[in-house]
Structure 1
């Protein structure tokens, strides 16, 4: 299902983001990315250098638990320059503007790296926006920003749309095992809420106040976890509310089909897309995982349209 937008006009700004993004073909997510890296001991792969299949193979065979690394300031500078379309800017010219949408600062130091990159980006006006989230929910915000750019809207209008999408979108996911979150040191409040009972399948979200993971529900089986994700979406928005949903999967694509069918039984689905979780994020979820970013009704810029 594709997302339509108004005809492209002369953009007033450009958009860049980081490897916290899970990009959807049906959204305007094709923007320059400051990549994360996944590390197995002394071997390191950037987001675009390792496939999901190769990652799963490494997880099964490599005795070393992988870690992830945020983009460097230089990698952010490269992404911003690519977005601006200029390695140099004429002194007399108007500096190009770039809106950099980052993964939650509560989950990564990427925003700080983007801020540091400004020191080597003379001649480019960089505005930072902390998405407060990641993955498909970050993709929704990038879509809002890029839609504004393609329509020739101002950067300030883009930020209004992005912030509206940020407030109305929730991200929920469940995982087959908490072991990968535990090994990566990101289990935090999730573990505390579960009381250390690692056999339970959590439904995890990103707390809007802190930008960190927290548990909102639990189930006794992975299948039950998928059902609990769908139930949480309905509790949040109310049965019958039209939804936009960005679905995420690890090793089993059919998990998203099960969730979408469940949601269709309670909501009109006005947009949906599905994508495999990117390798760097999969390091923390483990191979089998299921997630969804959900938001109600039309996009903010469509609401005044009959």
Structure 2
């Protein structure tokens, strides 16, 4: 039995080659009165809805009960503390729901960690937490490893259109930075302190926006720096292949894997999106 168990929420885009197989408190997608839990609709089904449904979808954070269900799924082999890793509180109320879940079963011991990010970068932190548990480390060590991973990891993404961010009310500082020039393709990141979206670049075409994303990675870490690279894609998997090829021309890539953007995140990005979570060198615990 590990000293603690890890759970997370639907902000995660999981990688098959990382330790990401943990119980998930799911988000929901809402098309007017019709709601789907994120595991009840495929990405293809979502794209069809976006094409044909006149109602723009919204997302709902996990409920406290969703968090409790995920937590209780870890307790089949005996009661151990739970480490809950949430999407950035700057982007969602999921952390508040996790806090409320404590009261539903006072017998469970919880620690709640705000990743201050999402998606592939959240996956990196979940990997750190599960690795710590598998190695018999304490929750405090897991928190230290996640903090180190957060500090050294950058998440950049671009989208074909800002329309979905605009409709969902999530555009925030991205809109302010672009000054309403919505025909441009943004390069967006998540600020480490606030955990909110901010724009760091832009391009006139989607293909040049992919190049701008990979250029941001190289600018951050320096050409020639060995990297771990998690690639995200929306409706076009080949976008991620193009990005990886560009990075490999400038960096040794120590690890790479692909993840499809999950349906809840896709309603804010729109169907076509490309993202990269990158970090330098080996994992903190391997150094």
Length-normalised TM-score, structure 2: 0.99
Q: Deviations over 1:242-297 (max 9, x none)?
A: 10011000000000000000000111000000111000000000000000100010
Residue 239 of structure 1 corresponds to: 223
Determine the C-alpha separation between the residues in 1 that align with 2:112 and 2:75.
14
Determine the C-alpha separation between the residues in 1 that align with 2:87 and 2:76.
23
Q: Deviations over 1:142-161 (max 9, x none)?
A: 00000111111111111111
- Residue 300 (1) aligns with residue 274 (2): no
2:18 to 19, 24, 27: 27
Residue 86 of structure 2 corresponds to: 102
- Residue 135 (1) aligns with residue 119 (2): yes
Residue 99 of structure 2 corresponds to: 115
1:84/1:98 contact within 8 Å kept: no
Determine the C-alpha separation between the residues in 2 that align with 1:260 and 1:242.
13
Q: Deviations over 1:186-232 (max 9, x none)?
A: 00100000010000000000011111000000000000100000000
Q: CA deviation at 1:85?
A: 2.8
Q: CA deviation at 1:84?
A: 2.9
1:100/1:128 contact within 8 Å kept: yes
Q: Deviations over 1:33-72 (max 9, x none)?
A: 0000011111111111110010001000100000000000
- Residue 78 (1) aligns with residue 69 (2): yes
2:131 to 141, 147, 170: 147
Output aligned runs, 1:43-54, within 5 Å.
43-54=34-45
1:277 to 261, 276, 279: 261
- Residue 191 (1) aligns with residue 182 (2): no
Give the number of equivalent residue pairs. 287
Q: Is the partner of 1:64 in helix, strand or coil?
A: coil
Q: CA deviation at 1:83?
A: 2.0
1:16 to 7, 10, 14: 7
- Residue 58 (1) aligns with residue 58 (2): no
Q: Which runs of 5+ in 1 are unaligned?
A: 1-9, 90-94
Determine the C-alpha separation between the residues in 2 that align with 1:63 and 1:217.
31
Determine the C-alpha separation between the residues in 1 that align with 2:256 and 2:36.
30
Determine the C-alpha separation between the residues in 2 that align with 1:127 and 1:59.
37
4+ residue stretches of structure 1 with deviation over 6 A?
Answer: none
Residue 255 of structure 1 corresponds to: 239
Q: Is the partner of 1:275 in helix, strand or coil?
A: strand
Residue 204 of structure 2 corresponds to: 220
Q: Which runs of 5+ in 2 are unaligned?
A: none
Determine the C-alpha separation between the residues in 2 that align with 1:301 and 1:187.
36
- Please give the root-mean-square deviation of Cα atoms over the aligned residues, in Å: 0.9
1:36 to 6, 14, 27: 27
Determine the C-alpha separation between the residues in 1 that align with 2:152 and 2:68.
30
